[in-house]
Amino acid sequence: MSENHEEKKARQKAAKIRASEKARAKPSRTRLDVEDWERWELDALPQRQQRAERRTEPLGKIVDRLRAESAEAAAESKVDERLAGEGLVVSITRGQCEVELEGASLVCHVPKALALTQQTDLAVGDRVTVSRRPGGALAVSSILPRTSRLSRPDPFLAHRERVIAANLDLAIVVVSLRKPPLSPGLIDRFLVALAHGGVAAAIAVNKVDLADEPREEDPELELLAPYRDLETPLVPCSGKTGEGIAELAALLAGRTAVLVGHSGVGKSSLLAALAPEIDVRVGEVSEHWGKGRHTTTRSRIYDLGGGTRLIDTPGIREFGLWKLEPAELALYFDEFEEPAASCRFNDCTHSHEPACAVRAAAESGAIPPERYAAYLRILESLQAG
């Protein structure tokens, strides 16, 4: 393509941008009565128009800016063929990430085009290839296939996947007593999302030092009864007293895991108890809202030794499910599997159909009614889109 043709295209694009800027800069028409007009100087309106026009960028400058942006994008794409190696994404900041590669911690540029070419954003826990750019700087050139992931819809762009962490062996769903109150609904959603993403799950009940005695009669601990019959490990623990920390450490040994849960449940305090040598900030819970402050502001992998890696994540308030069809939901409620085989209809949603064996099992108590109610809530949200 000739240089003259490229120049013509650049000027056409610049003209469109300038026209758009002029439209935005055009002063709005204000309705004025007679007294208002008397307060205006004779040349006030022409001056306003002149100021608006001066705010519009000259066409030549727009062309130069477009050329600079194009050159920057081209430079980003010119990563040379010599691979620096494959590494593990430890943390991510705007435009760059920290990668662990051959025992070294490297800061790597993240090209803007990476998310488009890979159809996903970078996530902590990703395995990536790192290449050397002209001049010696390092950049992430590709994201290697993931073995598992924990995902949710992006809170700002619901059609886009937000991967919380990748390549996980285990996820520990952290809940707490009292501060903030225990939330079974969040547990249910996490268990579904983790099973959907191919990640094993465990539940850590933090702050059990706040429980009533005897613990068997604590009303919040009673909410956990439906989960005790699942194969999911459930660990009562306390980052403050150390109770249950050894059991958590045994679950984590030799695995890559992530801590997830509401703000203020004590994820960072559990990490500090598991690895006292790591400097982890621990926050307090708001007395007014009963919600925690975001002590952890971005996800990060910590190496606990012996092949154990633990990802601490910022707390969340809500958790949506990514690309899960309503018909798939029952597959992630293990207690439904046996009775579902006796339902009259193969495509039974276990919500309203006649001769539904799952609903009958919930009514008889064979399936905990709380878990069946959780299934119906999630099913309704998926059907609503």
Q: Distance between CA atoms of 301 and 303, rounded to whole angstroms?
A: 7
Q: What is the pLDDT of residues 94-142, one digit of tens each?
A: 889 999 998 888 999 998 888 777 767 899 999 999 998 877 789 999 9
Encoded tokens for 373? 């109610």
Residue 166 DSSP one-character state: E
Residue for token pair 């610049």: 14
Residue 279 DSSP one-character state: -
The candidate with the shortest Cα–Cα distance to 149, out of 131, 135, 163, is: 163
Encoded tokens for 302? 């910590």
Q: How far is CA 61 from CA 9, 17, 25, 58, 66, in A?
A: 15, 11, 17, 5, 9
Mutual angle of helices 184-196 and 369-384, in 10-degree steps: 70
Specify whether domain 150-312 bears CATH 1.10.3470.10.
no
What's the pLDDT at 103? 85
Q: What is the pLDDT of residues 339-374, one digit of tens each?
A: 999 999 999 999 999 999 999 999 999 999 999 999
What's the pLDDT at 208? 93
* Residue at 196: amino acid letter: H
What's the pLDDT at 359? 96
Q: What are phi and psi of 115, to 5 degrees?
A: -65, -35
**Which stretches does DSSP call E strand in 78-212?**
83-93, 96-101, 104-109, 127-132, 138-143, 149-153, 161-166, 170-176, 200-206
- Helix runs in 85-162, H state only: 114-118
- The fold of the 326-384 domain, in CATH, is Ribonucleotide Reductase Protein R1; domain 1 (1.10.40)
pLDDT averaged over 10-residue windows placed end to end, the chain, 385 residues: 61 66 52 38 40 56 68 52 79 91 90 77 94 85 94 77 92 91 90 94 95 85 91 94 96 96 90 86 41 61 94 76 88 95 95 96 95 96 86
The candidate with the shortest Cα–Cα distance to 201, out of 247, 257, 145, is: 257
Given a contact cutoff of 8 angstroms between Cβ atoms, the answer to whether 163 and 299 are in contact is no
What's the pLDDT at 212? 85
* Residue at 198: amino acid letter: G
Helix (H) or strand (E) holding 3: helix 3-25
Q: Any idea where the domains of the chain sit in the sequence?
A: 3-76, 83-143, 150-312, 326-384
The candidate with the shortest Cα–Cα distance to 238, out of 266, 262, 258, is: 266
Radius of gyration of the chain (CA): 28
Q: Is 373 exposed, middle or buried (0-12, 13-18, 19+ CB in 10 A)?
A: middle
Residues forming beta bridges with residue 75, ordered by sequence position: none
The candidate with the shortest Cα–Cα distance to 312, out of 328, 303, 301, 321, is: 301
What's the pLDDT at 305? 92
SS3 category, 271: helix
Architecture of domain 83-143: Beta Barrel (2.40)
